[in-house]
């Protein structure tokens, strides 16, 4: 097991935060941000794969002056511990977030979700619908689909998948340019995204996240995802905002169409030229309206 990773000095200009630590029910140490006060209402921002809380750095700075922001690094990701033998499943991810929120005594939670953070966030929300306030969706899914890009399917294969993802950094590495279309990430931004994933051991959860994508009912996470989907009915009356990068090679317009059906009340903003990392790729178009949407009523 690798321990919590201390932040390097060079990351501070982009990520000027002091992470805190929470021990999950399974005993792993989770790094998380807690910015903007100590009230019982907070914005819970959940990242996916292969990012970490760094993805939300600019949104945290924009929102935290007026509202508490809780931003965990899922176990195996970011500055959290990266145990080799953790149960890296959707059910465990949901339980980790559920325990974190309970430990903080939150009474009102506004969700911001991206990538795998969608399934995790809506999984938590389905268990605690009364807690959930406003919802922001950013290029994500929380439902089963029957398609997967070939390059991700390759990374799921036994043997060759771990070799590509963990050995050659063939998932996190390419993401820093494949997930952007409007602009290129700076050298420091790329370094920030990739800092947690520097070795075979560091990339254990990057690989596990890919393997945990359920494509058929026999998959261990299929039933968990089905339960997430059943929870959608709770949130058709909640204020919802969608910002969608239209050039996402994975979460394409098929997924956006499903969200329109699931949350018909949502205000949808499709940014045609933006990629998967929509918060970075279309920062000036996304962060101000998301910040305004999240403000206390």
Quick one: pLDDT at residue 37? 84
Mean pLDDT of the residues in the chain: 96
Quick check: 5 pLDDT over 90?
no
The residue-averaged pLDDT of 27-45 equals 96
β-bridge mates for residue 136, sequence order: 112, 241
**296 and 67 Cβ atoms separated by less than 8 Å:** yes
- The answer to whether position 1 is within a domain reads no
Quick one: pLDDT at residue 1? 40
**196 and 5 Cβ atoms separated by less than 8 Å:** yes
d(CA 143, CA 160): 27
What b/e sequence results for 163-183 when a residue is b if at least 16 CB atoms lie within 10 Å of its CB, and e otherwise? Answer: ebbbeebbbbbebbebbbbbe
The residue-averaged pLDDT of 230-258 equals 97
- The answer to whether position 245 is within a domain reads yes
CATH of residue 208: 3.40.50.1820
* Angle value at C-alpha 119, between 217 and 268, nearest 5 degrees: 120
d(CA 267, CA 284): 18
- The answer to whether position 2 is within a domain reads no
127-145 pLDDT, tens per residue? 999 999 999 999 999 999 8
- The answer to whether position 206 is within a domain reads yes
By residue range, what is the domain housing residue 118? 9-294
- The answer to whether position 4 is within a domain reads no
Specify the number of domains making up the chain: 1
Quick one: pLDDT at residue 6? 85
d(CA 232, CA 125): 9
- The answer to whether position 3 is within a domain reads no
């Amino acid at each position: 097991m690798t321990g919590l990773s201390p932040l390097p000095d060079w990351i501070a200009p982009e990520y000027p935060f002091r992470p805190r630590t929470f021990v999950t029910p399974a005993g792993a140490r989770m790094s998380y941000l807690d910015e903007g006060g100590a009230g019982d209402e907070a914005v819970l921002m959940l990242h996916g794969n292969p990012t970490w809380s760094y993805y939300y750095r600019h949104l945290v700075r924009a929102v935290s002056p007026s509202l508490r922001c809780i931003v965990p690094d899922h176990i195996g990701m970011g500055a959290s511990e990266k145990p080799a033998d953790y149960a890296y499943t959707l059910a465990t991810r949901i339980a980790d977030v559920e325990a974190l929120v309970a430990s903080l005594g939150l009474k009102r939670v506004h969700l911001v979700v991206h990538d795998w953070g969608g399934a995790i966030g809506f999984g938590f929300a389905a268990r605690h619908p009364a807690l959930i306030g406003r919802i922001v969706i950013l290029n994500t899914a929380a439902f089963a689909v029957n398609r997967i890009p070939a390059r991700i399917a390759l990374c799921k294969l036994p043997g060759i998948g771990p070799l590509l993802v963990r050995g050659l950094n063939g998932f996190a590495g390419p993401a820093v340019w494949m997930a952007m279309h409007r602009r290129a990430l700076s050298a420091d931004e790329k370094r920030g995204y990739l800092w947690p994933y520097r070795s075979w051991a560091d990339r254990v959860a990057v690989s596990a996240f890919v393997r945990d994508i359920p494509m058929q009912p026999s998959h261990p996470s299929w039933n968990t995802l089905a339960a997430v989907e059943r929870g959608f009915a709770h949130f058709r009356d909640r204020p919802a905002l969608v910002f969608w990068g239209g050039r996402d090679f994975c979460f394409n317009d098929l997924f956006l169409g499903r969200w329109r059906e699931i949350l018909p009340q949502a205000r949808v903003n499709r940014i045609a030229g933006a990629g998967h990392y929509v918060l970075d790729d279309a920062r000036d178009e996304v962060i101000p309206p998301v910040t305004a949407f999240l403000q206390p009523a």
